[in-house]
């Protein structure tokens, strides 16, 4: 059985790549934008890993 949390790289029908971040229970808690290459998708994951711990939370009303 897979361990979580984890980043899962997927390829869309149009050939582009994206990632999902899953929680400990396996549920998707975040999805990325589409990337034209797998390498760019991996860079996106690296950016989230580096920047997320310092991210602030801001509530925006519609």
pLDDT greater than 70 at residue 1? no
Cβ proximity of 35 and 44 under 8 Å:
yes
| pTM for this prediction | 0.82
Contacts of 12-17 with CB under 8 Å at 24 or more apart are 17/41
Distance between CA atoms of residues 17 and 41, nearest Å: 6
Joined together, the tokens standing for residue 35 give: 């990337």
Instruction: Please state which of the four CATH numbers 3.40.50.300, 3.30.160.160, 3.40.50.10470, 3.40.930.10 is assigned to the domain occupying 6-50.
Output: 3.30.160.160
Domain boundaries, the chain: 6-50
Q: What is the pLDDT of residues 8-49, one digit of tens each?
A: 999 999 999 999 999 999 999 999 999 999 999 999 999 999
- Give the pLDDT score at 62: 77
């Amino acid at each position: 059985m897979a361990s979580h949390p984890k980043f899962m790289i997927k390829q869309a029908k149009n050939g582009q790549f994206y990632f999902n971040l899953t929680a400990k229970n396996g549920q998707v808690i975040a999805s990325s934008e589409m990337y034209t290459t797998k390498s760019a998708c991996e860079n996106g994951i690296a950016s989230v890993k580096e920047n997320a711990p310092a991210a602030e939370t801001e509530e925006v009303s519609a």
